[in-house]
Amino acid sequence: MGAAENAPGAGLGFGIDIGGTGIKGAPVELSTGNFARERIRRSTPEPSTPQNVVAVVEELLTAFGWTGAFGCTVPGIVQHGVVHSAANIDPSWIGFDLEATLRERTGQPVAVVNDADAAGLAEVHYGAARDTSGTVLLTTLGTGIGSALVHHGVLVPNTELGHLYLTSGTVAERHAANSVREEEDLSWAEWAARLQAYFEHLEFLFSPDLLVIGGGVSKKANMFVPHLDLHTPVRPAELRNNAGVIGAATLGAALPG
């Protein structure tokens, strides 16, 4: 995708964010990134099979009377609309063509994107990185570590940088995810030391101009960011739980037709 294809335009877009516990949707003002109407959230169905989740997506579209192009996130790797991993959703998602299914069921163009990628794109256009040019790297620190890499407004999808091996031989998210901090009862300073090693590795590989930290723990950035000593500026994400919906709407609005 080129920069123009990723750039938000005038008018409204519509985004849906599929998560392991909830599915959210709302129309988005593309000039500001604000919701045009209050978002609606539905619980993720059990079991969270593709067909059960698609039914909820259709319900949200109907609730808003939305009939145009839209974007939809999924917590997994997405290539050409096909889901290739299933984080916190039913394993039957693997190999499922969500884009084709939604296009057939709704009759509308749809952009399907990884949830962290959508969040990163939203932060670049409307959030913590909106005034930063060059390379922006977002990491979401939660149960695992998600990532998004955006260069001059262009998304490089499916980076999955939480699965990098550190020099110690440990997978990054098994060493430095927020869930690990909680499970091992690490102090903020102890956890920051683990993040330091991970972020130094990312700096070496990508030389980002800005590092954005997302996930729920970003609300407590003042507890651990001051312990970091990086060359790259670090900012907490601003859009938090709304980022997936906003990023998905941005991508959906850029679709032709």
Mean pLDDT for the stretch of residues 65-88: 96
Q: What is the CATH number of the domain that holds 91?
A: 3.30.420.40
Q: Are residues 94 and 108 in the same domain?
A: yes
The pLDDT score that the predictor gives to residue 257 is: 65
Residue 171: both structure tokens together: 């997978």
Confidence of residue 88 (pLDDT cuts 50, 70, 90): confident
Structural domain count of the chain = 2
Mean pLDDT for the stretch of residues 53-73: 97
Angle (deg, nearest 10), helices 50-64 and 98-106: 40
Q: Are residues 232 and 249 in the same domain?
A: no
Q: Are residues 249 and 182 in the same domain?
A: no
Q: Are residues 85 and 155 in the same domain?
A: no
Judge whether 122 lies within some domain. Answer: no
Judge whether 124 lies within some domain. Answer: no
Q: Are residues 141 and 223 in the same domain?
A: yes
| Residue 225 pLDDT exceeds 60 | yes
Q: Are residues 24 and 111 in the same domain?
A: yes
Q: How far is CA 60 from CA 30, 203, 247, in A?
A: 19, 40, 17
Q: Are residues 60 and 141 in the same domain?
A: no
Judge whether 125 lies within some domain. Answer: no
Residue 215: both structure tokens together: 């996930």
Kindly provide the b/e burial profile for residues 76-102, where b requires at least 16 CB atoms within 10 angstroms of the residue's own CB: bbbeebbbebbbbbbeebeebebbebb
Q: Are residues 107 and 177 in the same domain?
A: no
Confidence of residue 207 (pLDDT cuts 50, 70, 90): very high
Q: Are residues 13 and 107 in the same domain?
A: yes
Judge whether 179 lies within some domain. Answer: yes
Strands 135-141 and 210-214: parallel
Q: Are residues 158 and 214 in the same domain?
A: yes
Q: Burial-class residue 62 by CB neighbours within 10 Å (0-12, 13-18, 19+).
A: exposed
Q: What is the mean pLDDT of the chain?
A: 94
Residue 191: both structure tokens together: 């956890």
Q: Are residues 159 and 113 in the same domain?
A: no
Q: Which tens digits make up the pLDDT trace of 117-151?
A: 999 999 999 999 999 999 999 999 999 999 999 99
Flag whether the pTM goes above 0.85.
yes
| Residue 6 pLDDT exceeds 80 | no
Q: Which tens digits make up the pLDDT trace of 138-196?
A: 999 999 999 999 999 999 999 999 999 998 899 999 999 999 999 999 999 999 999 99
Judge whether 65 lies within some domain. Answer: yes
Mean pLDDT for the stretch of residues 237-249: 97
Judge whether 78 lies within some domain. Answer: yes
The pLDDT score that the predictor gives to residue 256 is: 86
Judge whether 123 lies within some domain. Answer: no
Q: Which of 241, 147, 123, 136 is CA-nearest to residue 198?
A: 147
The pLDDT score that the predictor gives to residue 5 is: 37
Q: Which tens digits make up the pLDDT trace of 101-113?
A: 999 999 999 999 9
Judge whether 55 lies within some domain. Answer: yes
Q: What are phi and psi of 62, to 5 degrees?
A: -65, -40
* DSSP designation for 165: B
Q: Are residues 60 and 158 in the same domain?
A: no
Peptide bond into 47 cis (omega under 30): yes
Confidence of residue 87 (pLDDT cuts 50, 70, 90): confident
Domain hosting 48: range is 3-117+242-253
Mean pLDDT for the stretch of residues 37-46: 97
